[in-house]
Amino acid sequence: MSKVDGKVDGKVDIEISEVGPRDGLQSIATVMPTEDKKRWIAALASAGLQEIEVGSFVPPKLLPQLADTAEIVRYAIGIGGLRVAVLVPNLRGASDALAAGAHKLTIPLSVSETHSLKNLRKTHTQVLEEVRGIRALLDALPPDQRPQLEGSLSTCFGCTLEGPVSEDAVVRLGGQLLDAGCDEIGLSDTTGYGNPVQVRRVLRKVWNALGRDSLNGIHLHNTRGQGLANVLAAVEEGVTTVDASMGGIGGCPFAPGASGNIVTEDLVFLLEAMGYRTGVDFERLLSARAVLAAALPGEPLYGFLPEAGLPRGFELAGERAAEPV
């Protein structure tokens, strides 16, 4: 099969949404210079990552690491073929994201209300009201200018602050996000509590109640070493988009002990080795990691694939005839 811009025929079975420039950078003390962010994002896109969450529209005093998000969005939308995603906590953030030109907006709603109050300083009712306001804002635009609106159900597998989280509440709040105007919802293991059996069960409950089109993506952490096992469970159930962070940087600064994003490099290898096309070029991916390492000197980067390298004779999924198992 032919390669197009580093991708095999440009087709993917599982899309990896790179969240390092947002979820990764927000959780480390170092503030990456804006020009380094641009170089990193360009390198990630060159490697074949088609969706990158480039920042968050929150007050700079809360997350100075992301104070340049508007400039980063304006730069990233100029990269051909890249879907530029951002996190927005409220209507004000959504307005700023629209002005910058983002393609996708994600608003988080923590199933754990304790975490919601800590993270957004809002109750469930208040977050849903923000979603309605954002929906009205988007509906005022011509249809072809409306970015995608995703509601992310945070702490849906457990919460460091509250402990176990009701799976019925996950389904109920997911339905309320859709009713309030989200185009789709996503599941987020904010605190790294999830296990593969739980992931399968929650996915099935959501799909059975809200329909298969309601949910396509999942955001998993490797805090307790379950990240890739949970990915396998999610993909086998039918999830088609998985979030990951280059070098495994990041986590949630408002959930104690919740560091540990899935390592993008290891995730790409897992999926490609199983026969799923990701559209990612390994050589360019490791070049992007080098850009990140140079921009964050002294910051630990994680991952087994970058250390061990590819097995001898390894081929991308699209270059061989084997079907996903």
Upper half-sphere CA count for residue 117 (Cβ side, 13 Å)? 6
| Structure-block tokens of residue 241 | 């988009």
Task: Please report, for the chain, the start and end positions of each structural domain, with discontinuous segments joined by +.
Answer: 3-319
The residue length of the chain stands at 325
Over residues 42-61, the pLDDT tens digits come to 999 999 999 999 999 999 99
The pLDDT-based confidence of 19 (bands split at 50, 70, 90) is very high
Quick one: pLDDT at residue 325?
53
- pLDDT at 131 > cutoff 90: yes
Q: Which amino acid is residue 261, in one-letter code?
A: N
Q: Which amino acid is residue 158, in one-letter code?
A: G
Residue 283: CB atoms within 10 A of its CB come to 9
The pLDDT-based confidence of 216 (bands split at 50, 70, 90) is very high
DSSP state at residue 49: -
Residue 288: CB atoms within 10 A of its CB come to 27
Rounded percentage of the chain residues whose pLDDT exceeds 90: 80
b/e map 2-33, b = 16+ CB within 10 Å: eeeebbbebebbbbbbbbbbbbbbbbbeeebe
Quick one: pLDDT at residue 259?
58
What is the rounded distance in angstroms from the CA atom of residue 174 to the CA atom of residue 187? 9
Quick one: pLDDT at residue 314?
93
Q: Domain 3-319 belongs to what architecture? A: Alpha-Beta Barrel (3.20)
Quick one: pLDDT at residue 49?
98
Quick one: pLDDT at residue 3?
33
How much is the average pLDDT of 83-105? 97
| Structure-block tokens of residue 13 | 């079975």
Known catalytic residues are: 252
Region for residue 48 given its phi and psi (left: phi exceeds 0; alpha: psi -120 to 50; beta: otherwise): left
What is the rounded distance in angstroms from the CA atom of residue 54 to the CA atom of residue 59? 16
Over residues 286-323, the pLDDT tens digits come to 999 999 999 999 999 999 999 999 999 999 887 765 45
Q: Which residues lie across from 17 on neighbouring strands?
A: 51, 243
Q: Which residues lie across from 109 on neighbouring strands?
A: 153
Of residues 225 and 3, more confidence is placed in 225
- pLDDT at 10 > cutoff 70: no
Query: Under a CB-based contact definition with an 8 Å cutoff, are residues 213 and 243 in contact?
Result: no
What is the rounded distance in angstroms from the CA atom of residue 111 to the CA atom of residue 90? 17
